[in-house]
């Protein structure tokens, strides 16, 4: 029944919501471009110059690689997560709660499903923009193999949808904007640290390795690394499948919770 309702209430009109966000982004893009541009540079300097001497090389899937080339793709994964998750949590919450933007949209031919879909697709778009900029910067240091590396862009779109959906789900249930601290510290921060981002998962005890597989970032970082190294093989489908499944769960949940919140 839910699918049927969704089918009748969704149309390409969700792009109008996406376009609204693009128009706003267009007013400040020069500033919005700076963080994804500088962030990898800071990390590469800190880890590549500062920490690398201590860590040296490490072995990843049987081959010896530098620490910088290990973390650089994971940082792109982290950035994909941050850009979409923070867009559909804090930024969407401000639009919904303080600016009444969604209320205004719902008085037009847009449906709730289209408003929420537009927001989620916009969150994913920000992930793609960030991934593209970071890919350019990291690529300049010879840390990404091209043309395979270009697959980072569709990966950013998929990861972006996954994290934007779960972010929007939280926006549907938090009582106020301060409460986003909970998912940030219980969900996002542990992922940032324990998803095979800064050290190989194999360094963890076996139970923790299994547990980390629940984290979508584990799969996203893995995929980003494989793509950056140019190691495209069929086993990557597992990670892609997990991100797809994660999106397929949280996208309808986000719409449902936002509907309960907005439709009175």
Q: Count the site residues for other proteins by CB under 8 A.
A: 21
Among 6, 10, 24, 249, interactor with other proteins by CB under 8 A = 24
The reply on whether position 106 binds other proteins by CB under 8 A is yes
The reply on whether position 233 binds other proteins by CB under 8 A is no
The reply on whether position 30 binds other proteins by CB under 8 A is no
Closest distance of CB 95 from other proteins, Å: 8
CA distance 183 to 189: 9
Among 6, 10, 13, 65, interactor with other proteins by CB under 8 A = 13
Closest distance of CB 252 from other proteins, Å: 19
Query: Among residues 17 and 223, whose Cβ is nearest to other proteins?
Result: 17
Give the angle subtended at the CA of 173 by the CAs of 189 and 124, to the nearest 5°: 60
Query: Among residues 111 and 228, whose Cβ is nearest to other proteins?
Result: 111
The reply on whether position 133 binds other proteins by CB under 8 A is no
The reply on whether position 7 binds other proteins by CB under 8 A is no
């Amino acid at each position: 029944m839910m699918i049927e309702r969704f089918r009748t209430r969704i149309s390409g009109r969700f792009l109008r919501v996406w376009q609204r966000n693009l128009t706003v982004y267009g007013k400040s893009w020069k500033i919005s471009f700076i963080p994804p541009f500088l962030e990898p540079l800071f990390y590469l300097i800190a880890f590549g110059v500062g920490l690398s001497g201590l860590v040296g090389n490490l072995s990843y899937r049987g081959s010896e690689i530098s620490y910088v080339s290990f973390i650089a793709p994971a940082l792109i994964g982290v950035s994909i997560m941050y850009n979409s998750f923070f867009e559909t949590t804090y930024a969407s919450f401000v639009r919904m709660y303080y600016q009444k933007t969604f209320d205004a949209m719902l008085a037009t031919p847009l449906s709730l499903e289209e408003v929420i879909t537009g927001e989620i697709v916009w969150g994913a778009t920000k992930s793609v923009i960030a991934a593209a900029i970071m890919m350019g910067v990291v690529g300049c240091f010879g840390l990404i193999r091209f043309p395979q590396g270009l697959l980072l862009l569709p990966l950013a779109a998929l990861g972006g949808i996954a994290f934007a959906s779960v972010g929007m789900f939280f926006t549907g249930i938090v009582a106020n904007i301060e409460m986003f601290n909970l998912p940030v510290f219980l969900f996002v921060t542990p992922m940032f640290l324990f998803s095979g981002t800064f050290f190989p998962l194999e360094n963890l005890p076996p139970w923790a390795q299994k547990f980390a597989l629940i984290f979508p970032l584990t799969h996203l970082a893995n995929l980003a690394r494989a793509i950056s190294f140019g190691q495209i093989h069929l086993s990557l489908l597992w990670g892609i499948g997990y991100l797809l499944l994660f999106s397929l769960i949280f996208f309808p949940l986000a719409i449902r919770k936002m509907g309960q919140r907005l439709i009175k």
